[in-house]
Structure 1
Amino acid sequence: MHRSATDPRRRVLHLAQPVEGGVARVVLDLTKAQLTAGLRVAVACPGGELADAARTLGAEVHEWRAGRSPGTDLPDEVRRLGRLVGAVRPELVHAHSAKAGLAGRLALRGRVPTLFQPHAWSFEAVGGTTAALALRWERWGARWAHRVVCVSEAERATGVRAGIRARYAVVSNGIDTGRFTPGAPDAPGRSGPGEPLVVCVGRLCPQKGQDVLLRAWPEVLRRVPGARLVLVGDGPDHEALRRLAPESVEFTGAVADVRPWYRAADLVVLPSRWEGMALAPLEAMSCGRPVLVTDVDGARESLPPGDRGPCLVPPGQPGALADAVAGLLLDPELRSALGERGRRHVQSTHEVRRTAEAVAELYRELLGERPLVSSERRESIHS
Structure 2
Amino acid sequence: RAEWRVVPNGVDTARFRPEGGRADAEGVPLVVCVGRLCRQKGQDVLLGAWPEVVRRVPDARLVLVGDGPDGERLRRGAPGSVRFAGAVADAAPWYRAADVVVLPSRWEGMALAPLEAMACGRPVVVTDVDGARESLPSAARAACLVPPDDPAALARALSALLLDAPLRAELGALARAHTLAAHDLRRATDAVTDVYRELLGGPTAPVVGPYEGRKCITS
Give the TM-score of the pair, scaled to structure 1: 0.51
Distance in 1 between residues matched to 2:165 and 2:2, nearest whole Å? 45
Following TM superposition, by how much is the alpha carbon of 1:234 offset from its aligned partner in structure 2, in angstroms?
Answer: 1.1
Distance in 1 between residues matched to 2:74 and 2:160, nearest whole Å? 24
Following TM superposition, by how much is the alpha carbon of 1:341 offset from its aligned partner in structure 2, in angstroms?
Answer: 0.7
Is 1:191 aligned to residue 25 of structure 2?
A: yes
Alignment of 1:309-348 (within 5 A): 309-348=142-181
- Secondary structure of the residue that 1:247 maps to in structure 2? coil
User: With CA pairs under 8 Å and 6+ residues apart, which has the higher RCO, 1 or 2?
Assistant: 2
Q: In the superposition, relative to structure 1, how do residues 241 and 366 fare at CA in structure 2: closer, same or farther (>3 Å)?
A: same
Q: Which amino acid aligns with 1:191?
A: A
Alignment of 1:149-228 (within 5 A): 166-186=2-22, 188=23, 190-193=24-27, 195-228=28-61
Distance in 1 between residues matched to 2:69 and 2:26, nearest whole Å? 31
Is 1:236 aligned to residue 72 of structure 2?
A: no
- Secondary structure of the residue that 1:310 maps to in structure 2? helix
Is 1:272 aligned to residue 108 of structure 2?
A: no
Q: State the partner residue of 2:138.
A: 305
Following TM superposition, by how much is the alpha carbon of 1:368 offset from its aligned partner in structure 2, in angstroms?
Answer: 3.0
Deviation per CA, 1:8-33: give whole Å up to 9, x if none: xxxxxxxxxxxxxxxxxxxxxxxxxx
* 5+ residue gaps, structure 1: 1-164, 370-383
Q: State the partner residue of 1:258.
A: 91
Deviation per CA, 1:326-367: give whole Å up to 9, x if none: 111000110000000110110011010111111112222222
Q: In the superposition, relative to structure 1, how do residues 317 and 166 fare at CA in structure 2: closer, same or farther (>3 Å)?
A: farther
Q: 1:292 is matched with which residue: 125, 131, 141?
A: 125
Identity across matched positions, percent: 68
Larger radius of gyration: 1
Distance in 2 between residues matched to 1:247 and 1:216, nearest whole Å? 15
Distance in 1 between residues matched to 2:200 and 2:43, nearest whole Å? 42
* 5+ residue gaps, structure 2: 203-219
Distance in 1 between residues matched to 2:40 and 2:108, nearest whole Å? 8
Q: Which amino acid aligns with 1:179?
A: R
Distance in 2 between residues matched to 1:258 and 1:202, nearest whole Å? 10
Is 1:246 aligned to residue 79 of structure 2?
A: yes
Distance in 2 between residues matched to 1:259 and 1:191, nearest whole Å? 15
Deviation per CA, 1:227-285: give whole Å up to 9, x if none: 10000111111111112211111111110111110111000001011111111111111
Q: In the superposition, relative to structure 1, how do residues 173 and 215 fare at CA in structure 2: closer, same or farther (>3 Å)?
A: same
Report if aligned partners of 1:211, 1:244 keep a CA contact under 8 Å in 2.
no
Q: Which amino acid aligns with 1:192?
A: E
Q: State the partner residue of 1:351.
A: 184
Report if aligned partners of 1:215, 1:244 keep a CA contact under 8 Å in 2.
no
Q: Which amino acid aligns with 1:352?
A: L
CA RMSD of aligned residues (A): 1.4
Give the TM-score of the pair, scaled to structure 2: 0.88
Q: Which amino acid aligns with 1:317?
A: D
